[in-house]
């Protein structure tokens, strides 16, 4: 039931990081991988990385916030590869700025990539999924779909919205055998969180790094590979009656008040 042979999976922003790990996992389960990134250099970097792992991926340059570009890209994918069976809305950015110092433009940039992008990409594949008899959409949400923290107002608003977009796609298209679910990663060691893990000048751990360790029962940061199994589950027939669900893969952070300071 976890077999993805014969399926075409499009993972957005998947030249590296969480998207790359999820695409590798889906390829390992038999899917054919399609991915996009924001520029050719990143797409080439991704293609080389996939090829190194024996994965024949189909890569293309596309900004997920550009509706015309996305629609053109989906037409080309359908001509060159086939109808998308699995869409993983992974591409995302974060701007860590105190809300009262954040410009409306900076706010809009985050909302555009993290929330409007998944709307545009989902809209572009759903009609063909319906014609084909069904499909899977997986939105990469976040702990910030549930919790806030200083400096991430736009990101939390976008990821909270993405949780509700997930539930709405599930509601509106479930009758066409489309399942739309989310994965909510905890704190994962990728370039996006590198600034939060930088060693201090004296060689000690970044305060935020220590904070996350104390808030995580697993007492570690997640790795992109920790998301592989959950992604295969939500992309496969094993989850055909799971719809509108956000699967948190966070080492237990959301369940835990945090380690008592010594």
7, 9, 13, 50: residue in contact with ligand NAP (rule CB under 6 A)? 13
How far is Cα 140 from Cα 197, in angstroms, rounded to an integer? 21
Binding string, residues 241-260; x marks residues near ligand NAP by CB under 6 A: --------------------
Asked whether the beta carbons of 192 and 226 are under 8 A apart, the reply is no
20's tokens = 């790359």
Nearest approach in angstroms of CB 36 to ligand GCO is: 21
38, 94, 235, 247: residue in contact with ligand GCO (rule CB under 6 A)? 94
192-208 core/surface letters (b: 16 or more CB in 10 A; e: else): ebeebeeeeeeeeeeee
Nearest approach in angstroms of CB 101 to ligand NAP is: 21
3-state secondary structure 53-85: CCCCCEEEECCCCCHHHHHHHHHHHHHHCCCCC
Give which of ligand GCO, ligand NAP, none residue 25 binds (C-beta under 5 to 8 Å, depending on kind). Answer: none
Question: Interface with ligand GCO by CB under 6 A: which range of 10-18, 51-59, 181-189, 213-221?
Answer: 181-189
Residues between 117 and 146 with contacts to ligand GCO, criterion CB under 6 A: 142-144
Nearer to ligand GCO, 14 or 143 (CB): 143
Provide the annotated active-site residues: 155
Nearest approach in angstroms of CB 253 to ligand GCO is: 8
Burial class of 245 by CB neighbour count within 10 A (0 to 12, 13 to 18, 19+): middle
Residues between 82 and 121 with contacts to ligand NAP, criterion CB under 6 A: 90-93, 113, 117
- Sign of the torsion angle spanned by Cα atoms 39, 45, 49, 51: positive
Nearer to ligand GCO, 80 or 106 (CB): 106
Residue 18 near ligand GCO by CB under 6 A: no
Give which of ligand GCO, ligand NAP, none residue 91 binds (C-beta under 5 to 8 Å, depending on kind). Answer: ligand NAP
CB atoms near residue 257 (< 10 Å): 6
Residue 140 near ligand NAP by CB under 6 A: yes
Nearer to ligand GCO, 118 or 185 (CB): 185
Residues in contact with ligand NAP by CB under 6 A are 12-13, 15-19, 36-38, 42, 63-65, 90-93, 113, 117, 140, 142, 185, 187-188, 190-193
């Amino acid at each position: 039931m976890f077999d993805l042979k014969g399926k075409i999976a499009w993972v957005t922003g998947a030249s590296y990081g969480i998207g790359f790990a999820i695409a590798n996992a889906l390829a390992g389960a038999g899917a054919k991988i399609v991915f996009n990134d924001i520029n050719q250099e990143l797409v080439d970097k991704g293609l080389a990385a996939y090829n190194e792992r024996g994965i024949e991926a189909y890569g293309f340059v596309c900004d997920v916030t550009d509706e015309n570009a996305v629609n053109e890209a989906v037409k080309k994918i359908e001509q060159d590869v086939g109808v998308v069976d699995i869409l993983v809305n992974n591409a995302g950015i974060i701007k860590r700025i105190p809300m009262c110092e954040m410009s409306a433009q900076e706010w809009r940039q985050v909302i555009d990539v993290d929330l409007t992008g998944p709307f545009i990409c989902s809209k572009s594949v759903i009609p063909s999924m319906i014609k084909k008899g069904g499909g899977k959409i997986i939105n990469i949400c976040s702990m910030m779909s549930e919790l806030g923290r200083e400096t991430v107002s736009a990101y939390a608003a976008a990821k909270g919205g993405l949780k509700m977009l997930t539930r709405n796609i599930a509601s509106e298209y479930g009758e066409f055998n489309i399942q739309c679910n989310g994965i909510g990663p905890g704190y994962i060691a990728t370039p996006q969180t590198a600034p939060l893990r930088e060693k201090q000048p004296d060689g000690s751990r970044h305060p935020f790094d220590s904070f996350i360790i104390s808030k995580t029962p697993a007492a570690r940061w997640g790795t992109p590979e920790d998301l592989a199994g959950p992604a295969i589950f939500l992309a496969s027939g094993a989850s055909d009656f799971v719809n509108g669900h956000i699967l948190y893969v966070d080492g237990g952070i959301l369940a835990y008040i945090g380690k008592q300071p010594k």
